[in-house]
Amino acid sequence: MADSAQPRLAAQPGGTGRSTVLTSYDPRTGEAVGSYAVMHSGELTRAVRAARAAEKWWAELGFSTRKRWLLDWKRDIVRRSGELIDIVSAETGKPEADAAIEVMLAVENLDWAARNANRALGRRRLGSTWLSRNQLASVGYLPLGVVGVLGPWNNPVFTPMGSIAYAMAAGNAVVFKPHELTTGVGVWLADSWAGLAPNQPVLQAVTGDTATGAALCRAKVDKIAYAGSEAGAREVIALCAQTMTPVVVERGGKGCLVVHVDAKLDDAAAAAVFGAMANSGQNATGIHRAYVAESVYDRFLKLVVDQTRKLRPGADRKASYGPMTMESQIDLVRRQVRDAVASGGRTVVGGLDSIREPYIAPIVLAEVPEASIAVTGEGIGPVLIVNKVASMDDAAERINAVGSDVAVSVFTRDVHDIEAFAEQLRVGVVTINSATAHAGIPALPFGGVGEYGHGHSHGDQGLREFSRTLAIARKRYRAPVSLSTFDRHPRHLRLARTIFQVRHGRRA
């Protein structure tokens, strides 16, 4: 699929004409991290068949027993988290601290999903009307069956766990295809589950290239969860359409930050810099652009410049962030910075000379025209665009015009009227006086609008994303006024019409 990363892969040819071995490398050193089999369609079919058998066992356990299994799995991950952190760091180049934070956030989601599935999905009674008060109505949520998860490379534990944990808590089996660059992470997660339930492959990892991911899309699973690039999202949707497989999509990109005239500028600048530069600017929850009120623009920009100049990428423990994980993204950053300057923007920190592969030093651009691909393109890399706006309405118009933001962070002291501003924005998440911290709230649903994404992860909505609704109505007693029969008495209809007029014909 379109998220291919072939420059970072070494493969050995097989008789089928496709590669048979996938080798991933540490982007900091170029050293091999691990080698994995490239699975073909036959192996995918067997994995899905095994998942369907395991799902029957898993679904029949019920919420309370699944909760115990998932919490046992959580504890095993925590006890061995050092191993997982090392793999994340090696395959992505992230500093150990960033990898540790990612693992902790993923575990929090696993814990929340396990503990809240029964409340969110368990059968509950519903109200009825006077016409149907003899009926007992209820709704519950049942597993879909087998869910395929296609993971990204930038946050290879946290992002897919937003689908894996919630799908498993809802009673589904999961077939997880990690990204080629971070295959070891997916294998480790599946192996950790297998250590608890070796004969019940409720979670499996299938390894391989983009063709393996395409085969999973065609494998007639019950849902596909994808996180990655816009081009990859379109391809996944097209592939799944062939088998009418529903898709939940989290498209790559970042959000933006709005700075009102009364904002605490120190806090806003710190949030903008961290959101733009953390994980080498490769976080989907990060900051791509800052829209700043004219009256505070110069002061805010100076604070951003001062803080940004303290940062340094590298492989050592003192480095602020690591390398670009995917080589092709470096060229994307180069094209966007070049276009920003050619369009009339200016560089205030760094520039094209900041790009020293595989690292990119911090880049801050100012007054970049909204038509530049630096603004309209997929936000990636340690790049922050700072543009001034005339008003909050101006900021909202610019944000909606781009239409690809994951989340918007608003910094203001006037928090009472901010919800009205938030409702103007076509985004799924709005945060107030913080930027990326919302990723640490498992109960908060995370979803896109328009082309950004389909469906949700996290929260009750994330659990229901991997469930099917079953509504049940049960007759409890004979209705005193029965209209659902050809033998209804004429006075029943007259009585019903009278009650209807009284209930609905008068002004409340």
Q: Treating both helix axes as pointing N-terminal to C-terminal, what angle do 210-217 and 41-60 enclose, rounded to 10 degrees?
A: 50
**pLDDT (0 to 100) of residue 452:** 55
Phi, psi for residue 218 in degrees, rounded to 5: -95, 5
One-letter amino acid for residue 410 of the chain: V
**pLDDT (0 to 100) of residue 26:** 93
User: What count of other Cβ atoms lies within 10 Å of the Cβ of residue 312?
Assistant: 13
Task: Find all residues with CB under 8 Å of 477, minimum gap 6, and list them.
Answer: 134
**pLDDT (0 to 100) of residue 446:** 82
| Cα 374 from Cα 264, distance rounded (Å) | 27
Residue 247 corresponds to which tokens in the numbers above?
Answer: 């898709």
* Chain centroid, CA 207 distance in Å: 21
**pLDDT (0 to 100) of residue 317:** 87
Which residues of the chain fall short of a pLDDT of 70? 1-19, 448-453, 508
**pLDDT (0 to 100) of residue 508:** 67
| Cα 76 from Cα 79, distance rounded (Å) | 5
Query: What is the number of alpha carbons within 13 Å of residue 206 lying toward its C-beta?
Result: 32
**pLDDT (0 to 100) of residue 16:** 45
**pLDDT (0 to 100) of residue 12:** 42
Phi, psi for residue 128 in degrees, rounded to 5: -135, 175
**pLDDT (0 to 100) of residue 282:** 92
**pLDDT (0 to 100) of residue 11:** 40
**pLDDT (0 to 100) of residue 505:** 84
Residue 376 corresponds to which tokens in the numbers above?
Answer: 């309209």
**pLDDT (0 to 100) of residue 394:** 96
Burial degree of 471 (CB within 10 A; 0-12, 13-18, 19+) = exposed
Best CA proximity match to 335, nearest among 300, 297, 393, 374: 374
One-letter amino acid for residue 371 of the chain: A
Alpha helices (H) in 343-454, listed in sequence order = 373-376, 392-402, 418-422
DSSP bridge pairs for 135: 475
Residue 131 corresponds to which tokens in the numbers above?
Answer: 């016409």
Burial degree of 111 (CB within 10 A; 0-12, 13-18, 19+) = middle
Query: What is the number of alpha carbons within 13 Å of residue 359 lying toward its C-beta?
Result: 18
Task: Find all residues with CB under 8 Å of 35, minimum gap 6, and list them.
Answer: 21, 22, 23
Query: What is the number of alpha carbons within 13 Å of residue 85 lying toward its C-beta?
Result: 17
Phi, psi for residue 132 in degrees, rounded to 5: -130, 30
**pLDDT (0 to 100) of residue 3:** 54
| Cα 392 from Cα 414, distance rounded (Å) | 12
**pLDDT (0 to 100) of residue 489:** 81
- Strand 383-389 to 287-293 pairing: parallel
